[in-house]
Amino acid sequence: MANRFLDAQLSQARSFPTATTTPVSAAGTQVATLGLNLTGAGPNAQVHFDFTAGFDVDATDPVGVTATVLRDGVPIYQVIENFDDGVNQLLSFSGADYLPPAAFHIYTVVLAFTSADPAAEVDLIGPVSFTAAGYSN
């Protein structure tokens, strides 16, 4: 049986790199939020999502940037990418949430980083884009 479209949303905080930066904390910084209406979903619902963010990294040692996707505050997907010192680093990924309950859900992306360099800094410069679409049988 073909999947039927339920809902799609976009959270686009920045469309291109800017001089204005947002520091990413080691504890985590929420950078994107969107809501999806899956109330009409059947038993085999799924949500497909894509995320892209650009960073400046200032560190003497590699920095591990973690992106966590949460559904209603619960982690459902996580990506870890290592970056060296430099500007305009880009993190992009696609993922899916299989069998979410038939309800309205809030999806968020939280970024955090780890580094052996105690002075390491990670700044979000853009773009920042998060899209999601829900489907069901």
> What is the CATH classification number for the domain harbouring 61?
2.60.120.760
What is the reported pLDDT for 20?
Answer: 79
| Each residue's pLDDT expressed in tens, for the chain with a length of 137 residues | 458 999 999 999 887 777 778 899 999 999 999 999 999 999 999 999 999 999 899 988 889 999 999 999 999 999 999 998 877 789 999 999 999 999 999 999 999 999 989 899 999 998 999 999 999 99
Tally of domains within the chain:
1
Tell how strand 4-14 and strand 104-115 pair up: unpaired
What is the Cα–Cα distance from 16 to 90, expressed in whole angstroms? 12
Using DSSP's 3-state secondary structure scheme, residue 64 falls into strand
What is the reported pLDDT for 2?
Answer: 54
Residue 23 CB partners (closer than 8 Å, separation 6+): 29, 121, 122, 123, 124
What is the reported pLDDT for 131?
Answer: 98
What is the Cα–Cα distance from 13 to 121, expressed in whole angstroms? 20
What is the DSSP secondary structure assignment for residue 103, as one 8-state letter?
Answer: S
For residue 31, give its domain range.
4-136
